[in-house]
Amino acid sequence: MNLHLKVWRQKDAKSPGQLVPIEARNIPEDASFLEMLDIVNDDLTVKGEEPIAFDHDCREGICGTCSLSINGLPHGPSETTTCQLYMRKFKDGETIHVEPFRAKTFPVVRDLIVDRSAFDRIQQAGGFITARAGSAQDANCLPVPKVAADAAMEAAACIGCGACVAACPNASAMLFVGAKVSHLALLPQGQAERTSRALKMVRTMDEEGFGNCSNYLECEAVCPADIPASVIARLNREYTVASCKDAVC
């Protein structure tokens, strides 16, 4: 199949960027979207032009590296990561807009690559349980009800890709932060730092400059890891309870 791409090209963080029309020719339907870009890049390179820079790594939907807003949807039309999007989802001759994830907190590095280190900084603020290597008790000393373990796993499945921020009309990171806070708050191991974790992670999220949640639920709809929006409700609850505890104690 042949496709008309409109791809965001930007030399570096400081230069202005623009959408550039690029033709993708002879693309097999069984190719993934990123393999389509590989083919386009091969063509560009042979022509002596610089290939399109885009983030990707595992190409099996788990590392969270690939991004891209495809026709206005983060990760495109299939409810997975971009690397798991296959060209059979598109029609021959279609025009496809490929843009980077957009948010003040995700500045463009080059072309379609953005800097998502704000997510790391939020995690560093409190997205952990303090457990020094060597200090742990036997793993079965702390039974965790299956329901809680399953709910924690559901939240922990977040791959940190940032699609939630990219899809949110407000560029809010509530789904990401909610997932981490929920995962750890649901487990008995996470109780000791529960209050400080919620306070620190939300504070860092705000300082980074993410927008505020308006409950549009676009985040949930594009999340390739199926993180439910109930983690946002939990975060709202956790943070408020934590603030009350902090005010009183």
Question: For residue 82, which amino acid is it?
Answer: T
Which residue in the set 1, 53, 94, 196 belongs to the binding site for another protein (CB under 8 A)? 53
Tokens of 225: 């890891």
Supply the minimum distance, in Å, between the C-beta of residue 7 and another protein. Answer: 11
CB of 4 to another protein, least distance (A): 13
Nearer to another protein, 60 or 93 (CB): 60
Please state, in angstroms and as integers, the Cα–Cα distance from residue 103 to each residue in 19, 86, 107, 152, 203, following that order.
Answer: 17, 26, 7, 28, 18
Strand partners, 6: 21, 97
Q: Reduced to 3 states, what is the DSSP secondary structure of residue 58?
A: coil
- Residue 59 or 93 with smaller CB distance to another protein: 59
Site string for another protein, 167-196 (x = CB under 8 A): x-xxxx-x--------xx--x-xx------
Closest distance to another protein from the beta carbon of 90 (Å): 14
From CA 195, how far away is CA 3, in angstroms rounded?
51
Three-class secondary structure of residue 169 per DSSP? coil
Q: Which member of 11, 75, 82, 90 binds another protein (CB under 8 A)? A: 11
Pick the closer one to another protein by CB: 3 or 232: 232
First to last CA, the chain: 65
Nearest residue to 145 (alpha-carbon basis) of 194, 184, 188, 180: 188
**Total Cβ atoms within 10 A of residue 123:** 16
Residues 192-221 that bind another protein (CB under 8 A): 202-203, 205-206, 209-218, 220-221
Question: Between residues 93 and 224, which has the closer beta carbon with respect to another protein?
Answer: 224
By the rule CB under 8 A, 163 interacts with another protein: no
- The DSSP symbol for 247 reads H
Among 25, 49, 92, 192, binds another protein (CB under 8 A): 49
Q: Which residues in 69-88 contact another protein (CB under 8 A)? A: 69, 71-73, 78, 80, 84, 86, 88
Q: Which is nearer to another protein, 48 or 93 (CB)?
A: 48
Least distance in angstroms from the C-beta of 161 to another protein: 10
Query: For residues 94-123, which are near another protein according to CB under 8 A?
Result: 97, 99, 102-105, 109-110, 113, 115-117, 119-120, 123
C-beta of 23 vs 209, nearer to another protein = 209
Please classify residue 43 by burial: count the beta carbons closer than 10 Å to its beta carbon, then call 0-12 exposed, 13-18 middle and 19+ buried. middle
Alpha-carbon distance of 56 to 211, in angstroms, equals 26
Beta bridge partners of 73: 70
Rg of the chain (C-alpha set): 20
Question: How many residues of this chain interact with another protein, rule: CB under 8 A?
Answer: 128
